[in-house]
Amino acid sequence: MSETDRVLIKGNEAVAFGAVDAGCRCYFGYPITPQNEVPELLSSLIPENGGAFVQAESEVGAINMLLGAGACGVAAMTSSSSCGISLMQEGISYMAGSHIPGVIINMSRGGPGLGDIGPSQGDYFQAVKGGGHGDHRNLVLAPSLAQECYDFMFRAFALAFAWQNPVMILGDAIVAQIKEPVRRVPPAGAHKPKDMSDLARDWRIEGFGGRGQNAVPRLLKSVYLAEGALAERNRLLLQKYTDMRREALFDSEYTDDAELVVVAFGSIARIARSAVRRLRDEGRKVGLFRPVSLYPFPEEALRLCATGRRFLVIEQNTGQMVEDVRLALNGVSSVLWHGVMPGLFIGAGELIDPILQAVKEKS
Amino acid sequence: MSRTDKCLRPQNDEKLVFDVNSVLNERVTHYCPGCHHGIAHRLVSEVLHELGVADKTILVASVGCAAFTYDYFNVDSVEAPHGRACAVATGVRRARPDTVVFTYQGDGDMAAIGIGESLHAANRGEKITAVFINNTVYGMTGGQMAPTTLLGQKTTTSKQGRSLSNEGGPIRLAEIMAQLQGVAYSARYALDSVKHVREAKKAVRGAFDAQIAGLGFSFVELLSGCPTNWNLDPVAANKRIANDMIPVFPLGVFKDVADE
Amino acid sequence: MPEYQDVIIAGFGGQGVMIIGNLLAQAGLEQGFEVSFIPVYGAEMRGGTANCTVVLDTRPIGSPIVREPLSTIVLNEPSLTKFQPCLDKKGVQIVNASLIDKSLVSREVNSVYIPANDIAHRLGNVRLASMVALGAWLQATDALPLKAVQEALNRVVSAHYAKLIPVNSSALEAGWNFA
């Protein structure tokens, strides 16, 4: 493949191209920085591909439109940023409770409140712990390259339909706004859009006539009032969340002989990678473990590389993923933490000292 | 499609003189005695039956007394969060333009928490039909004040009676809808008398006709009785609709682009 | 050509900071480099300083954000004030002499002091100043061949402005020749 096959585009634009190439047919969303290139590009790409693009009146409207389109078994998505994602939580909970698929992009902002539009990983808890009311989980993928913004859209739709569950892509201002070379080619093993409608055949609403005149009407809902019915529903969801664990994804570099393993995700992971490489060049035995799926968290893989190593979690928030790392390691290894405050643009240089300090610190 | 209640079928020498249509099943509803939801359900089901579209219809259920509407209609259905039925219906109809989509919402759902989603779906001219049940109270939660509660009306959250200065006046949604460009049909009728029920049926038909013709958003408001939360018997409740509600909520077709 | 190069480009909004950043990234991509371009929106107000960072690397790029750049292109005074102290000791800065007083330029820093606006003005359009500065940067860093950047103009300039490609190309060359 020649270099001209790679196009220089923003992470947000890669999301939009990835969405249509992965078979997305409906987009619903409300403008918010720093993700506006997603709807701007899709407002032409989706209609050109025969789908529906609706600029909703609010994020509340958008998520419920997504619920409706997902209930029809159609590949659909929305995109927003932190405060907008907060407004969507009710709808996300209903989708999870009703087994309705859909893809939600959160190119997050700094917070709390209106915060700023700088880099932040402050929405980690919201994304991986469900975010909405009741017991529910979203599958969460965290890209750190524009190419991954493209590739992960295929995986996101495949996961949404395989598990009939909301899938969230959690990015930030860096991966949203960065321009990098992107190959617009479906990743190896990507499903075809047709596979999704096949997966939906057994549960989607469509008008019962599509299944023959005597077909039993279908109902997608989350309310279960009869005695024991909700417990049964939650048991089913628990089973689903347990089975989902096999979807865990991670990346690692230099962990084999590392004395200290840095754990970081998303944009911070790539900045940490630069710092780790620089320290490797100086002969320091440091490695990098990057959770690619934040839910399910790759706890098994993390445990496998735990023995005899110490861990330093670096994240751009006041301490969120560190809790999942500690839970995964369950006291087997010591886990240190370095927080980068939301809103800061940091380079690899700022991570050198914290890593060196962790190397020196006795457990 | 449960025809479980066999006791309702003709026994021995009994002759069947009235039957439900195939769009509505015979499950006994959870509605209170004298409630008008049953009549509204029947009107909608009859229209879907007459139009022969039930097999491609999708019902978007709301939250309130009508939450379990899908238990009685033999159509594919999806539940919407409180107030969001018109947004969910937008998603359904945009994803599946070949279907007939309707929402069935109460006054709290559509005119309070969901007025944003409702007006914007209407303004975009979404090809969906909204059936709006206006009974001036929140029924399911116990008779609290609704956006359509009449001035002076006492409810469990407006014990002194609704006042213009404190709670504002009743919202007239059919008139508001008629102002929006995307709306093809907007009407209000009542379910308190045989005459009014017949008019209401025509309005429900007009609303679905507008959707099927692809003219835009269609809306029909039905003034309904809630004897339980009004503390009235069913007959007195019907009288309240005629005497107190209709003067505030005039009946008629406010917009019908098919007629223009 | 170096295996790794990075640059922070900064100036007033409207001076062409983002355009030359994009052009450089596109040219790097076409030359087979891994590249990243990131606009940094700080707390600056509209019309204040805008800046972007471009990284060219022969290996996959880790951090796209650079705090001690190997080079900078500063088109106005506030940008010089902000980035001159961060510049890597071995780095080079391209300083717009038309708008930045020489007394502000540190003698300890390797600088190309080029009257970009005046050169652009002589070429017929002061808005070409950023291209002039980029030309000087190419000469000073040897990061990419001039020809490659001139060629990449065909991808970065939209069809609507295609007639301006030759004059932009001349501006790059004028900057190259100055440095």
User: What tens digit of pLDDT does each residue of A294-306 get?
Assistant: 999 999 999 999 9
- Which chain A residue lies closest to B77 (C-alpha atoms)? A219
The closest CB to that of C63, out of A3, A118, A270, belongs to: A270
Which pLDDT belongs to residue A342? Answer: 96
Which pLDDT belongs to residue C49? Answer: 77
Full residue range of the structural domain in which residue B163 is found: 24-259
Which amino acid type is present at position A83?
Answer: C
Where do we find the tokens 């945009």?
B94
B27 versus A126: the higher-pLDDT residue is A126
- Sheet harboring A260-263: ordered strands across? A250-253, A286-291, A260-263, A310-315, A335-339
Interface residue of A66, A67, A92, A197 to substitute, partner B, most B CBs within 10 Å:
A67
Mean pLDDT of A70-92: 98
- Rounded Cα–Cα distance for residues A20 and A46 (Å): 7
Which pLDDT belongs to residue B143? Answer: 94
Q: Report chain C's mean pLDDT, rounded to a whole number.
A: 94
Whole-number Cα distances in Å, C119 to A50, B246, C133, C136: 50, 79, 10, 12
> How large is the angle between the packed helices B194-212 and B37-51, nearest 10 degrees?
40
Q: Is A109 on the interface with C (CB under 8 A)?
A: no
The secondary element (H helix, E strand) that includes residue B43 is helix B37-51
Instruction: Label residue B260 by pLDDT band (50, 70, 90).
Output: confident
| Largest interatomic CA distance in chain C | 44
Q: What is the pLDDT of residues A197-242, one digit of tens each?
A: 889 999 999 999 999 878 999 999 999 999 999 999 999 999 999 9
Which pLDDT belongs to residue B7? Answer: 63
Domain count, chain B: 1
The answer to whether the CB of B92 falls within 8 A of the CB of A69 is yes
Domain count, chain C: 1
The closest CB to that of A68, out of B70, B88, B98, belongs to: B88
A6 pLDDT above the threshold of 80: yes
Write the Ramachandran bin of A180: left for phi over 0, alpha for psi from -120 to 50, otherwise beta.
beta
The closest CB to that of B1, out of A74, A94, A217, belongs to: A217
Q: Is B45 exposed, middle or buried (0-12, 13-18, 19+ CB in 10 A)?
A: buried
Residue B156 within any structural domain of the chain: yes
- Rounded Cα–Cα distance for residues B104 and A165 (Å): 26
Where do we find the tokens 């947000």?
A12
Which pLDDT belongs to residue A4? Answer: 54
Which pLDDT belongs to residue B5? Answer: 58
A1 pLDDT above the threshold of 60: no
Q: What is the pLDDT of residues B144-177, one digit of tens each?
A: 999 999 999 999 999 999 999 999 999 999 999 9
Full residue range of the structural domain in which residue C144 is found: 4-178
Give me the count of residues in chain B.
260
Instruction: Label residue B2 by pLDDT band (50, 70, 90).
Output: very low
Which pLDDT belongs to residue B19? Answer: 80
Q: Report chain A's mean pLDDT, rounded to a whole number.
A: 95
Is C61–A117 a contact, with Cβ atoms under 8 angstroms apart? no
A363 pLDDT above the threshold of 70: no
Regarding chains C and B, contact by 3 or more CB pairs under 8 A is answered as: no
A130: its two tokens? 């469900």
Upstream peptide bond of A112 is cis (omega within 30 degrees of 0):
yes
Mean pLDDT of B182-198: 98
Which residues, listed in sequence order, are joined to residue A76 by a DSSP beta bridge?
A: A26
One DSSP character per residue, C98-147 reads TTS-GGGS-TTSEEEEE-HHHHHHHTT-GGGHHHHHHHHHHHHH--S-HH
Is C65–A349 a contact, with Cβ atoms under 8 angstroms apart? no
Q: What is the pLDDT of residues B85-107, one digit of tens each?
A: 999 999 999 999 999 999 999 99
Positions of chain C with pLDDT under 70: 41-48
A194: its two tokens? 């047709």
Is B94–A207 a contact, with Cβ atoms under 8 angstroms apart? no
The pTM of the full predicted model, rounded to 2 decimals, is 0.94
CATH number, domain of C90, equals 3.40.920.10
CA of A201 vs chain B CAs: smallest distance (Å): 14
Domains A3-199 and A251-360 share a fold: yes
Instruction: Label residue B1 by pLDDT band (50, 70, 90).
Output: very low
Instruction: Label residue A189 by pLDDT band (50, 70, 90).
Output: confident
Which pLDDT belongs to residue C42? Answer: 53
- Rounded Cα–Cα distance for residues C172 and B136 (Å): 73
A145 pLDDT above the threshold of 50: yes
A362 pLDDT above the threshold of 70: no
- At the fourth CATH level, the homologous superfamily of domain A3-199 is Thiamin diphosphate (ThDP)-binding fold, Pyr/PP domains (3.40.50.970)
Residues 6 or more apart whose Cβ sits within 8 Å of residue A328: A297, A299, A302, A303
Q: What is the pLDDT of residues B104-154, one digit of tens each?
A: 999 999 999 999 999 999 999 999 999 999 999 999 999 999 999 999 999
B13 pLDDT above the threshold of 90: no
CA of B244 vs chain A CAs: smallest distance (Å): 35
Which pLDDT belongs to residue A197? Answer: 80
Task: For chain A, give the percent of residues with pLDDT over 70.
Answer: 98
Find out if CATH 3.90.550.10 is the number for domain A251-360. no
Which pLDDT belongs to residue B209? Answer: 98
Q: What is the pLDDT of residues A56-65, one digit of tens each?
A: 999 999 999 9
Q: What is the pLDDT of residues A83-134, one digit of tens each?
A: 999 999 999 999 999 999 999 999 999 999 999 999 999 999 999 999 999 9
Task: For chain B, give the percent of residues with pLDDT over 70.
Answer: 97
Q: Which residues of A touch C62 (CB under 8 A)?
A: 270-275, 277, 348
Residue B15 within any structural domain of the chain: no
- Rounded Cα–Cα distance for residues A298 and A304 (Å): 10
How do the domains of chain A map onto residue ranges? 3-199, 251-360
CATH number, domain of B231, equals 3.40.50.970
Is B92–A68 a contact, with Cβ atoms under 8 angstroms apart? yes
Interface residue of A179, A280, A346 to substitute, partner C, most C CBs within 10 Å:
A179
**Rounded (5°) CA angle B24-B229-B242:** 75
- Which chain A residue lies closest to C88 (C-alpha atoms)? A349
Q: Which chains touch C (3 or more CB pairs under 8 A)?
A: A
Task: For chain B, give the percent of residues with pLDDT over 90.
Answer: 90
Mean pLDDT of A322-326: 98
- Rounded Cα–Cα distance for residues B85 and A309 (Å): 53
The answer to whether the CB of C55 falls within 8 A of the CB of C6 is yes
